[in-house]
Chains A and B, each alone.
Chain A
Amino acid sequence: MIQNAGLRSRLFDRLLVIALLLVAFLCLLPIWYTLAVSLSEKSAATAGQVWLWPVGFNFNSYEQIMNDGRFFHSFWISIQRVALGAVITIAITTLMAFPLSRNTREFGPRNVFMWILVFTLLFNGGLIPWYMTVKALGLYNTIWGLVLAGGVPVFNVILIVNYFRNLPKELDEAALVDGTGPWRMLFAIYVPLAVPVLATVTLFTIVYHWNEFFHGLVLTSGQDHYPLQTFIQQLVVVIDAANMTEDQYKRMNELSNQTLNAAKIFIAMIPVLVVYLFLQRFFIHGITLGSVKE
């Protein structure tokens, strides 16, 4: 009986491994393809001859990027934005989440604030008033514009609120008996227990600030202020064929320089991957605790 179950379990394990590997392969495909294109000869890539293996293997694209000062300038702006954005967002969202995780008996207007948040999650005034507001606040063309203009990440606040709410109530009671104040309660009791959700929110914030390109375009005066993804995005935007000029015939062809674009996309991905590998510990660690040790 027990042996039978063990056998079945092992079969299950094997099927699981195969299924997961298959899924992983499917997810690896696009990035593998991007890498293969970035290492190929341009004419082969334009002809659509590159699929999963580079054609005319070379590092030209990467050399070209390494020699482009603008790329690294934008890279640095992105790093600043991510660092400031992550610290500020985590601090503010955690602070907001704590009072909102109290019930109405402990904090009367809690529901009012909560609904205001949900309301702003769904409603917005559109691009132009937002742009005018950002400009009026003096955030145009500053790093703070990139960090703050996206507004409060309400979804993250709600995630933390719910995580806090699901922590055992006994913690509160014990703390109250000890006479602990709300600030100490948050930082000494709640935050250490909420590491997985805080790691998640940190990750979301970093990914958001790293990938967001539109604010870079709209809220700055030009390339000198672009974060990396805006820098990359502008290289692949479509040219209006009706307004072509002499220089743009050439650029049409440059646009199809898929190899260079692929290399840029690939390089831009590396930092978030490193961050993920680091933060992943917190989830994996959790899973280890959660699963049964044999």
Chain B
Amino acid sequence: MNKKSATLAVTLMAVALSACSQSDNDNNAASTKASTKASTAASTASAGSGSPAASAETQDPFGKYPEQITLTYGKAVDPTDNSLPAGDTPEHNQYSRYILDNLNIDTKVTWQAASGTNYDQKVNLAISSSDLPDALVVKDTQLREMVKSGQLADLTDVFNQYASPAMKNFMEKTGGKSMESVTFDGKMYAIPSIQVQSDGVHEMWIRKDWLDKLGLEPPKTMADLEKVAKAFVEQDPDGNGKKDTIGISGQQNGSKLYANFLESTNNTFGLDPIFGAYKSYPGYWLKDEAGNPVYGSTLPETKEALGKLRDMYAQGLIDKEIGIRKSAYEPIVSGQAGIFFAPWWMGYGPLPDAIKNNPDANWQAYLLPLDADGQFNAHMGAPSTLFVVVRKGYEHPEAVVKMLNLLVRDESKFDISVPVGFYPLRVPMSYTDESEYSAKALKEVLAGTKKPEDFTDPGYKLLAADIQNVTKVKKEPYDNMDIQNWDPKADMGTWSRIYSLLVGSSPLEQDYNKVYSLLYSQTKTMESRWSNLKKLEDETFLKIIMGAAPLDDFDKFVSDWKKQGGDKITEEVKEAVK
């Protein structure tokens, strides 16, 4: 692209954006009805007095500052992203301009780093050297450290006064769990993210083409699962004449066997649903019959599940190299594996590479295997894992709430050719059922029972685009999800999303048993004891499954666990959840 046309594109985009923001304001005025008028009046009043009013009454959640204010923040970026138009930067882009135009807040990036480990490192450094920008997105451990150090502004009043009804609505949908995670001694110290619950539900992904070839059905019970895995291993489902297939694939070297209460979502390729089929939830805090907290890993159900896994491993039904393989993607992409367990979004990866290697690899997802009562049990993730915090002493803490209000209101209207991750301080704010709802809506539109116009709630922010795109990659018959009825080559990016929704999220519309951990954060004694208890647990369980230790080592583990601090921690959990 030459320079001239690039400049032109930027100019056009700016025009489009300002036009768009204009209509947003109108829309909003119509939809929020009466409250708007009152709050506009309030904001005019406060604008007149020239100081951010500290009164208890509600303020305009979208009030534009009469004079430009500045907000500095640290930014997590995606270093592989190439979507920014020429001249734009992670600091200055369509989103920062949108905030400037609508709220008169000039956002400045103090530093940026790749999301993940690098960003965490920069945040840790900023915390421990007390060299903080005005606002940051942090994780649970970092939030706790900052609260403990007294580095954060109390957002209780600010949130009550400025949070938009939509944002408060999101928060309420989590049943108070999100609010709990940011409240310390009755004060609110952060705005929590609200994540989709589907990231925490691990489903069974299975090669349906293999099932069909061998004349099998998706395994409903553990006995079925064993039978199918055996057939996958022994009956050469890939037809290459070699006995090189894997029944059930597992996690890679260094990854987890199952999600736990501290890392409760996206445990790709672990064996969580198998534990669930035994009503076992290792790594989670549960209630026993008397209503007291117990740690799932220490319960007899877990021993039973481990016994079964050990047995299946010995029979060769589970990947021999579970937990020590270089990459869990490998057997799936190469077409060796027949079953794995993971959340809904596998269409983003590894499936694109898998179907590139074998276009007939028909991966389908199910909420299976079921427990003895015919129920699917899923441990659910924490509703909030990211937190927006404001430095103590920053003059405009409400600016952060306003920016997030704006995000919640307008996210569905943004031009997402530039990822919304570039929105300053963006954290996911979604309805927890976003993926399931979108999948259902797509199916209804495809079936013709509903029209695109029937879906107007802007809280489902990507749905409009999804409805528009779905027929690009989904071929008729629309109600058959087998891989031959898709056209991934048309647009791999769209395929990833739509396949993830229609195949990955659809099963979540069913009823299933949702099991929450009593607690998704640590207690005092955990700070000094948990990593050792976890080491004991990880080592014992993996050894039992792989036959390096007898099953009865489980009992020793339970007593050691209790002795080495587990009992004390259980007491603390009891206190914490009272």
Neighbour of B333 across the interface among A46, A128, A221, A257, CB < 8 A: A46
Is the pair A249, B349 in contact by a Cβ cutoff of 8 Å? Answer: yes
Residue of B nearest to A249 (CB): B348
Q: Is the interface of A mostly helix, strand, loop or mixed?
A: helix
Residues of B within 8 A of A46 (CB): 327, 329-330, 333, 350, 353
The docked-state distance in angstroms from the alpha carbon of A131 to that of B131 is 11
Task: Flag whether A269 is at the interface (Cβ < 8 A).
Answer: no
The docked-state distance in angstroms from the alpha carbon of A70 to that of B257 is 38
Is the pair A218, B125 in contact by a Cβ cutoff of 8 Å? Answer: yes
Given contacts A217-B113, A238-B116, contact A247 B329 (CB under 8 A): no
Task: Flag whether B496 is at the interface (Cβ < 8 A).
Answer: yes
Is the pair B348, A252 in contact by a Cβ cutoff of 8 Å? Answer: yes
The docked-state distance in angstroms from the alpha carbon of A42 to that of B492 is 14
Which of A44, A48, A220 gathers the greatest number of chain B CB atoms within 10 Å? A48
Residues of B within 8 A of A233 (CB): 118
Within 8 A of A (CB), among B62-104: 75, 77-81, 90
Neighbour of A241 across the interface among B75, B268, B428, CB < 8 A: B268
The docked-state distance in angstroms from the alpha carbon of A246 to that of B465 is 14
Is the pair A42, B334 in contact by a Cβ cutoff of 8 Å? Answer: no
Task: Flag whether B111 is at the interface (Cβ < 8 A).
Answer: yes
Given contacts A47-B333, A241-B265, A244-B266, contact A251 B80 (CB under 8 A): yes
Is the pair B385, A242 in contact by a Cβ cutoff of 8 Å? Answer: yes
Residues of B within 8 A of A250 (CB): 348-349, 493, 496
Task: Flag whether B264 is at the interface (Cβ < 8 A).
Answer: yes
Is the pair B79, A234 in contact by a Cβ cutoff of 8 Å? Answer: yes
Task: Flag whether B462 is at the interface (Cβ < 8 A).
Answer: yes
Is the pair A222, B113 in contact by a Cβ cutoff of 8 Å? Answer: yes
Bin the interface of chain B by size.
Answer: 35 or more
Residues of A within 8 A of B122 (CB): 217-218
The docked-state distance in angstroms from the alpha carbon of A28 to that of B393 is 57
Is the pair B117, A237 in contact by a Cβ cutoff of 8 Å? Answer: yes
Task: Flag whether B50 is at the interface (Cβ < 8 A).
Answer: no
The docked-state distance in angstroms from the alpha carbon of A27 to that of B340 is 36
Q: How far is the CB of A232 from chain B (nearest CB, A)?
A: 10
Is the pair A252, B349 in contact by a Cβ cutoff of 8 Å? Answer: yes
The docked-state distance in angstroms from the alpha carbon of A265 to that of B118 is 19
Q: How far is the CB of A239 from chain B (nearest CB, A)?
A: 4
Within 8 A of B (CB), among A190-247: 217-218, 220-223, 231, 233-235, 237-247
Q: How far is the CB of B383 from chain A (nearest CB, A)?
A: 12
Q: Please count how many residues in chain A sit with their CB below 8 Å of the partner chain's CB atoms.
A: 42
The docked-state distance in angstroms from the alpha carbon of A79 to that of B109 is 27
Is the pair B264, A242 in contact by a Cβ cutoff of 8 Å? Answer: yes
Within 8 A of A (CB), among B235-257: none
The docked-state distance in angstroms from the alpha carbon of A48 to that of B420 is 33
Task: Flag whether B345 is at the interface (Cβ < 8 A).
Answer: yes
The docked-state distance in angstroms from the alpha carbon of A170 to that of B267 is 70
What are 22 A-B contacts with C-beta separation under 8 Å?
A: A46-B327, A46-B329, A46-B330, A47-B333, A47-B353, A48-B326, A132-B131, A217-B113, A217-B118, A217-B122, A218-B122, A222-B112, A235-B80, A240-B117, A240-B120, A241-B268, A242-B266, A246-B419, A246-B428, A249-B345, A253-B349, A256-B350
Closest 8 A/B residue pairs (Cβ):
A253-B349, A47-B334, A222-B112, A249-B348, A234-B114, A48-B330, A241-B266, A47-B333
Interface residues, chain A, CB within 8 Å of chain B?
42-44, 46-49, 127-128, 131-132, 135, 217-218, 220-223, 231, 233-235, 237-254, 256-257
Interface residues, chain B, CB within 8 Å of chain A?
75, 77-81, 90, 109-118, 120-122, 125, 128-129, 131, 139, 199, 263-268, 326-327, 329-330, 333-335, 345, 348-350, 352-354, 356-357, 381-382, 385-386, 419-421, 427-428, 462, 493, 496, 500
Apart from the given pairs A127-B125, A238-B116, 20 other A-B contacts in the complex at a CB distance below 8 Å:
A43-B356, A44-B357, A46-B333, A128-B125, A131-B129, A132-B131, A217-B121, A218-B121, A222-B75, A222-B90, A223-B112, A241-B268, A242-B263, A243-B139, A245-B428, A247-B81, A247-B421, A253-B349, A253-B353, A257-B80
